[in-house]
Amino acid sequence: MTTAPAYLPGDIELRISDQPVAYREALAEMTARNAAIAAGEARELVWLLEHPPVYTAGTSAAAAELLDPRFEVVEAGRGGRYTYHGPGQRVGYVLIDLRKRARDARGFVHALEGWVIDTLADFGIQSFRSEGRIGIWTRDVDGREAKIGAIGVRIRKWVTMHGFSVNLNPDLSHFAGIVPCGIEEFGVTSLARLGRTIDVTEWDRALVARAPAFLAALDRACAKEPVE
């Protein structure tokens, strides 16, 4: 079930799906919507949802990093390598027309990361970017760095697609079937593992509250910030 569309600043459609959406179905819909936005035939879209268990392969995925294909594997067409999606993980697909903004691909990714980092902070989770490593990182229960969110995007005709995922309370053992994003030496964590039990509705509400700041950031070319 999908709730009735709401709208973010700039008449951007906000869609929230309450039931899992098959990855292939979401990918087909996202691809069509991306083309329609580029043609001026549809509104921009932010879509919050969850998938049944699936491994998705980005354009840089290496076969050796698929360790145990226990779930369906889908070629995603986005940048990056292998990623897991499944229950307990909130996915955000962000389809934005950068022709209306700064036309800055790097700035878009930076703003997307910042949106997730700021929302995690609302729940007491301090997270950060890491030079040379894709994703959103935090300190795990053992004090080591671990990934709590993934970023993967594609930009076609200056219209974005794909987006981010955040681990609320997924089965972390499912990540063992891949080398997540090609990074072997660091683990994966979640809000639940860090002691924060967050209802998906709470997460969505906090994320949407920070959407205006994310959208405003897209109007500025990206100025590189020091990596924490």
DSSP state of 3: P
**150 marked among binding-site residues:** yes
Contact criterion met (CB below 8 Å) for 177 and 70? yes
Closest residue by Cα to residue 156 from 74, 34, 43: 34
Tell me the C-alpha distance between 169 and 92, whole Å: 16
What does the block give as tokens for 58?
Answer: 């980005």
Give the residue among 130, 139, 126, 140 at the shortest CA–CA distance from 183: 130
83 is in an annotated binding site: yes
Token pair belonging to 98: 């950068």
Q: Which helix (H) or strand (E) holds 36?
A: helix 23-38
- Choosing from 181, 188, 207, 217, the catalytic residue is 181
User: Is 84 marked as binding a ligand?
Assistant: yes
**Binding site annotation covers 129?**
no
**Amino acid type, 11:** D
Any known ligand binding at 88?
no
Q: Is 222 a catalytic residue?
A: no
Q: Find out whether 110 is annotated in a ligand binding site.
A: no
Residue 85 marked as a ligand binder:
yes
**CB contact at 8 A, 38 and 161:** no
User: Is 190 annotated among the ligand-binding residues?
Assistant: no
Q: Is 33 annotated as a binding residue?
A: no
Binding site residue list for substrate: 78-85, 150-152, 163-165
Give the active site residues.
181
Q: Which residues are annotated as a binding site?
A: 78-85, 150-152, 163-165
